[in-house]
């Protein structure tokens, strides 16, 4: 009974936190509506070609919910890495290993993704850094879910979190039910936009890597942070201060119509 009551309490606390975060993000949208001319909605998704997301960055020292829907200046957009290069040990060689598994047909045990996670498990590292896995059985279960995710994406295409909530088949990687608002900020591929309007990968490496490998044309992404200079460009275009929309930005998904 104690375990069940504890589980109920845990679910209640998660729901309470998700509700609080949702209210904060909606308040942030209202602030943005007053502060900026062009729309900044933390929950709005934009559609991008996954092959165009080629750079990644070191994360800000804050969770996604803290930076979602914000405008930040500075040089953070200069300190970027190739998506595959940044993969490395920090992200358990996701892209390289997924290509070995799903393109070359290797066993998971042959990939550096599996070997890296297994080494961390055996070293007793913090499970929160490994999606809560503490045993090799957990790791094998995760790999089976990734297989299912690849098969589903190959057959049905890429699905947004909202679609996964309404479709009959469920997300094989979802651990527990959460609000749609939480799933958008933490479950979608997340990007930031640099001063020139280029997308920088931020979160959701597994989904982006699978989308690249499957070859889907477009995916929905959530924009967490926009560089201050890019936001200024968006505002000037919307106000008409700029001399029309520059030709290279005419089809940019983050320019308000």
Residue 226: in which H helix or E strand, if any? strand 219-227
Give the confidence band of 86 by pLDDT, cuts at 50, 70, 90: low
How far apart CA 12 and CA 5 sit, in angstroms, is 10
- Which domain covers residue 41, as residue numbers? 2-80+157-249
How far apart CA 114 and CA 92 sit, in angstroms, is 8
Which range among 58-72, 130-144, 166-180 shows the weakest confidence by mean pLDDT?
A: 166-180
- Residue 113 is assigned to a structural domain of this protein: no
Q: Whole-model pTM?
A: 0.88
- Residue 16 is assigned to a structural domain of this protein: yes
- Residue 118 is assigned to a structural domain of this protein: no
Which range among 5-14, 39-48, 59-68, 71-80 shows the weakest confidence by mean pLDDT?
A: 5-14
- Residue 235 is assigned to a structural domain of this protein: yes
For residue 49, the Cα-to-chain-centroid distance in whole angstroms is 14
Taking Cα atoms as reference points, which of 62, 116, 66 lies closest to residue 92?
116
Give Dmax (Cα) for the chain. 68
How far apart CA 186 and CA 181 sit, in angstroms, is 9
Model confidence at 180: pLDDT above 60: yes
User: Which of the 8 DSSP states describes residue 130?
Assistant: G
How far apart CA 212 and CA 52 sit, in angstroms, is 10
Question: Long-range contacts made by residues 75-81, C-beta under 8 angstroms, separation at least 24?
Answer: 76/192, 76/225, 76/227, 77/192, 77/194, 77/195, 77/200, 77/227, 80/55, 80/56, 80/194, 80/200, 81/55, 81/56, 81/57
The dihedral built from the CA positions of residue 208, 21, 181 and 249, taken in this order, carries a sign that is: negative
Other C-beta atoms lying within 10 Å of the C-beta of residue 138: 16
Model confidence at 13: pLDDT above 90: no
Contacts of 142 (CB under 8 A, 6+ apart): 117, 131, 133
- Residue 105 is assigned to a structural domain of this protein: no
How many distinct structural domains can be found in the chain? 1
CB 139 within 8 A of CB 133: yes
- Residue 102 is assigned to a structural domain of this protein: no
Q: Per the structure block, which two tokens stand in for 144? A: 């089976």
Q: Per the structure block, which two tokens stand in for 191? A: 């990007």
- Residue 10 is assigned to a structural domain of this protein: yes
- The tokens 């320019």 sit on which residue? 255
- Residue 98 is assigned to a structural domain of this protein: no
Model confidence at 242: pLDDT above 70: no
Encode pLDDT of 55-71 as tens digits: 999 889 999 999 999 99
pLDDT value at position 3?
Answer: 44
How far apart CA 58 and CA 70 sit, in angstroms, is 17
Query: Where does residue 13 rank: exposed (0-12), middle (13-18), buried (19+ CB within 10 A)?
Result: exposed
């Amino acid at each position: 009974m104690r375990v069940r009551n504890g589980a109920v309490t845990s679910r209640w606390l998660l729901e309470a936190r998700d509700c609080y975060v949702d209210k904060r993000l909606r308040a942030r949208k209202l602030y943005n509506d007053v502060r900026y001319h062009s729309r900044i909605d933390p929950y709005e998704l934009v559609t991008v070609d996954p092959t165009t997301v080629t750079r990644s960055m070191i994360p800000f020292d804050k969770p996604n919910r803290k930076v979602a829907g914000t405008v930040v200046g500075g040089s953070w957009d200069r300190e970027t890495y190739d998506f595959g290069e940044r993969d490395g040990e920090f992200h358990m060689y996701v892209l390289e290993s997924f290509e070995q598994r799903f393109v070359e047909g290797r066993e998971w045990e042959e990939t550096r993704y599996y070997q890296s996670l297994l080494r961390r498990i055996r070293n007793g590292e913090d499970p929160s850094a490994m999606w809560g896995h503490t045993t090799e059985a957990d790791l094998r279960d995760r790999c089976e879910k990734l297989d299912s995710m690849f098969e589903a994406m190959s057959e049905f295409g890429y699905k947004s979190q909202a679609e996964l909530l309404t479709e009959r088949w469920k997300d094989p990687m979802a651990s527990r039910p959460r609000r749609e608002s939480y799933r958008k900020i933490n479950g979608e591929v997340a990007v930031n936009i640099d001063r020139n309007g280029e997308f920088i990968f931020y979160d959701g490496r597994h989904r982006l890597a699978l989308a690249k490998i499957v070859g889907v044309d477009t995916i929905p992404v959530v924009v967490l942070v926009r560089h201050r200079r890019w936001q200024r460009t968006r505002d000037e275009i919307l106000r008409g201060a700029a001399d029309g929309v520059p030709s290279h930005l005419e089809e940019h998904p983050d320019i308000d119509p």
